[in-house]
Structure 1
Amino acid sequence: MNIQEDIEVLVVDDEPSFLKLTEVFLDQVDRWLEVDGVLSSYEALELFSDYDCLVSDYQMPGLDGIELLEKIRNEFESDIPFIMFTGKGREEIAMEALNIGADRYIQKGGDPKTQFHELAHSIVSTTKERRMEKKYKQEKRRAEKYFETAQVIMVVIDLDGEIIQANQKTCQLLGYTKEELVGKDWISNFVPERNRQQARETHQHFLKTGEKNFAEKSPVITRSGEERIISWHNSTIENEKNDVIASINSGIDVTEELSREKEIKEKTWMLEGMLNGIMDIVAFQLPDHTTIKINQKGLELIEDSYNEAVGEKCYKLVGKQEPCEECPAEKSIETKKREITEKYFPELDRHLEVITTPILNENNKVEFIIEHARDLSRIKELAKKHRLIKKSVEQATIEIYWITPHGEFRYTNKAVQNKLGYTKKELKGMYVWDVDPEYPKKRREYHYQKVKEKGSTTFETKHKTKNGEIYPVQVTSHYLEHEGQEFELAFAKDITEQKRKQKRQKFLHRLLRHDISNKCQIIQGYLDLIDKEKIPEKDREIIDKIKQSANEQNQIIEKVRTLRKIDKEKTKPIDINKTIEGTIKTNKPQAQKNNIEIKNQTPKQTKAIAGNLLKEVINNIITNAIKHAECSQIQIKTQETPNNIKITIEDDGKGIPEQRKQKIFKKGYKAGKNKGTGLGLHITKKIIKGYNGQIKVKNSPTGGAKFDIYLQKP
């Protein structure tokens, strides 16, 4: 209500002439006053609520002025401005009226003009005050209602930091009633400890500087201990002297909003990372081919920086001056659908599969295009190699099987089908034991675990064809993992011809060892029966040469037998000293005959990884020293190193010429007048190599030959 509006006044007085006079004077004194008069208090009770101010006489019939005031204030509970306008000498009435609730008391009498000017002034000032009070109360009620019903946190804090007032939203957020909150220190109770010092400093600075507004985001602690992030907007409250007396702090809970912002940032970061982590080329372009985004793989392909690529036409990025013929992006713009194109780009020397996806706006127009290009160059090359490998596998003459851990055939090549007589479809549901009569089902798990542990293994077995024919095979199996699955990759070779040759070779070796050896012994026996004393000297030399040749033939047979044993020999930890002692004992008679001393300095219980043929190795070296070294002593000693066992055999003889050292281990190499078969040291090296060891020769400090044998430790 505007305070310059007309003031409607009701005057009640039981004297008609005075009532009329009052109306006339008031109208003349103030043009804003609209005055009506009534002669009865009861009539005034019925009408006063429609007026802005009530002027009443005191002494009236029925209800006097005091009784009228009491009814208005108590029964009607009205705060209408009430002015008591009564006769002179009624001060006690004035006091009573003011105590009951009258706003003014004016005595009648005296100069009419002065009297009615005072009355008009009182009416105007009292009405204005009441209107101001009403307006203030309305605004206060409105503010209190907003304070209580506002959907934002509102809390009033005094200069000491204590809560003066808090609205319902604050109570809901913090989990306390208003009574529990009022009087509590805000910072000590509702600000996390880590933030309290800064919060106090910030609040005090805000109050001291007199800033009208202050904004920040900070956490509060709820009753349950949960932290919520509040976006605050703080203002100061001042008294009539403009002194700051408190702060009113309104805030919005932005915990979820910040969480969403963080989530969006994280997702954006993740999407950027994913985009750059994609191994294909991904680019975003406008309908006019302008590039607006491109990932790292795309930048690597075009050999450009991000800033240089963004804003450039896509076709220029690949070295063209005009859009590509049959441009997939233009096709997507035309169809408004995803398009897939595969083509060779000579400018990039790449085969690319390009997938273009148009993104439409609310008007169903293409806003931008996502271009996803996959480099097929390597795939094309791999596909070519795959076809070559597949063709090679299919056309291979050897049988090839992919077998599951349970023994089922997953793949077989044409050689398997041709050899076994089954179709590819028949083989698909078959198992190893269906084609291998020596491979029972219960053996599968043991065999597969062995292949898995070793990585690969080779063995001989037999295969059975569809018509019942059985043939020998050599199988080499490998353990493989492919796309998370385990397989046994087996290669089977028909060894029928090999077995036939081995059988014939075995027969010939047996013939060589048995029949020829027997014949040599017969020759030696008859030669021993000849009485040399009755034979001329010249013929004796011939007989000795015949005996020597027969002897050499026996030695060759023994060497061949040793060679055949090498591949079959199994290694294990053996007692080196025991082997050496046994060999010395065998050679001791011949050594004593030649005046040669053999010394063994090997510690007892010295063990190394070897086999029974180690005796043959030591025997060969000792025998050669006795026959060819022209020495007086042979010394054998063993030394343990961090990695192996070293056996040293050396003599003090004439040694081995430097030019012969690299030849003595070669098959068939002979030297000297007492030259042997040329197989001894060759066999020696093969035996040591079979033990995964080494043998070396050099000159001894004593002048003779020195052999160092290196064997693995157990």
Structure 2
Amino acid sequence: MAKVTVESANEVYIDLCREKIIKVLHVDDEAGFLAVAKQCLEEQSQFQVDTALSPKEAMEKLKRSEYDAIVSDYQMPEKNGLELLRELRQQGNDTPFILFTCKGKEEIAIEALNSGVYRYVGKEGNAEVTYEELKRSICDAVKGQRSEKLLKEAENRLRQITENMQDLLLLLDENLVIKYASSSYKSVVGYSPSEIIGKRAYDFVHPDDLPEVIETTKKAFKNKSTGRFESRVRRADGSYVLLEGIGKSLVDENGKVIGAVMTSRDITDRRKIEQTLRESEGKYRKLFDEVMDAIFVADAETGILIDCNRAATELTGKAKSELMGMHQRFLHPETERKGKFSETFAKHRADKEGHVINSQIVTKNGEIIDAVIKGSLVEVNGKKMLQGIFRDVTERKKVEEKIRFQARLLNAIGQAVTAADIDGKIIYWNHAAEQLYGWTEAEVLGRNIMKNLLQDIFQQDAQGVLSHLSGNKSWTGEAILKRRDGTALSVIVTTSPITNDEGEIIGILGVSTDITEQKWMQEIFNEAIAKVVELNEKLQVVESLTRHDIRNKLSALNGRIFLLKKRLRDNTEALSHLKEVEIASQQILRIMEFEKNYVQVGSEELKNIAVERYVAEAALLFSDLKGAKLINECSGLTVIADSMLRQLLYNMMDNTLKYGEKTSRIRVHYKEEEDQLKLIYEDDGVGISDEEKSKLFQEGYGKGTGFGLYLIKRICEGYGWKIQETGKHGKGVQFTMTIPKNAKDGTRLYEIS
């Protein structure tokens, strides 16, 4: 039971500590205990432990460094752990404090609780359980403090947002009594929040607007939904301000309406501007609406959109009702929304000439559109407005970018690309051509130097080049060309005709790849291969001798371990260490066996193998199947494989006998499905958990050396098979090897007789 508890606790603290290193200060007057505790905490975890031998040393370290948690003994010479805690709290240090002591819990529990100790952990008892409890306690304490810190930060950000927002925010209870008001009410309505909190929201609404507001509120409360409103609200000086807003019902966990939150903004000036615009609208509305470019009109002081034409709605994908009242910043991507206005709007406000500026527009569905904007400041009834004419240049930008990209692509390509017209004059010469041939683009454009280059090609395969070009086909071949300085180079050249829309040849395109170095490297490579073959033969001999020597040494080592275990049979600690050495020795042998088998993977020629015989032979390699019954149902099945198939089956059986725990049956069978066959190995042991399945075939993962299942996977891959573990945890393992009917080259991979 203790083992289960420890493993569960281990998972918890790993999960809690995964995100960040936890710095711990451990205070104890026993140096040896500090060293052991530090090693236990830091092993396979994300703890970083600092130690102090006294409260005085701890206080000095706390002045220089910050820690996520403090672990302290209770009884120490200078002062006890609780006195240290009280001193820290008096200094304003709120680091989580955990008491880790042999002192009886009942003796100090009440005092520890009153002093602010997060948790008491006893030193005595099972060491594994004790340190896992300590790790969990530290993680719980740190997580709690971090969560509290994040909550305070979130509350602070929310408070800053509400205190600095320009819109008005009200929080009402179910009777529409004001429970909270944002500080913006003072600047807009003239009342400070304290003056209106506790009063009914209806008390400030204009009498003529009150019936509609009440009706909207009732519907919103009844339907537990959102309600929009527009009404006049009384200022502190008795005048009225026109507000536009939205109210959202608040419900408790039972669905009962417990209040509402309302946000609104002053639209008084906007309504006046709209009225002014309506009065003069008839003079230019038709022209305004029918022009093909998008036009937006915004308040130059606030940036609020007050008008737009039909093309503007088509450009943004938003209805005019959505655009009106929206801030102009939201026409643009987030990168342009850093200040009070978008970058283009701010430039046009300061630009009397009305220059054209490149910008981008974001549509309703999030698409980014390239545009050019010409902004002009206009004044209507003393009110400054900014009119922007937007032209979509997305397609033009795409064409320009495509042309630039193609030019960059040809220049970036590592091959020499040249082109000449029908008269042989150079019309294109990329950077790689400059480097390959030695002439710069400026030196060759308009000049006829293709004769010098093509002459060598024609001399080497004149008939091939001419026949392909005359037939509007490309020609590719190797050639020896000369650079500007006269040096020779080996190249692979592809020449292609350039034709017009009528199919007439108007030029020749040449692409050349320098293979001079490759030719030289090929010669060196061939020599190196010969040397490698010779060296490999020598290494195989040395490897065989070395493996034999190591096995002899390990046999001697295991014999000495056996003698020592008999001599030290009463020394538990020594026997434990000898057991570890014995396990390490066995693992070395397994790793050597893996290395031997791994080298053999893919070294044999594949042939038809009778699976039934190999299953039986793999079982014969065991002196005892430990009572497990082998059911071999592979009669008549042959597969394309090699002798490593026997090793594959042996490894599976070996894993079953080692880790199956309750295995009584091993079964190997197959079934054919459409164009594939499934070869299935299964047992009735404890099986494999879902968490392990994804890592099962990784190199180094497993309970033994970690190479057995990895070798199985590599053998299957060499055969062109796929392997999966398809068993259910608790009911046994099931390895399913999927064998396609045919290989990519058409070879039949299995037969059933």
TM range (shorter): 0.3 to 0.5
**TM-score normalised to structure 2 length:** 0.34
Q: Which has the larger radius of gyration?
A: 1
TM-score, length of structure 1 as denominator length: 0.36
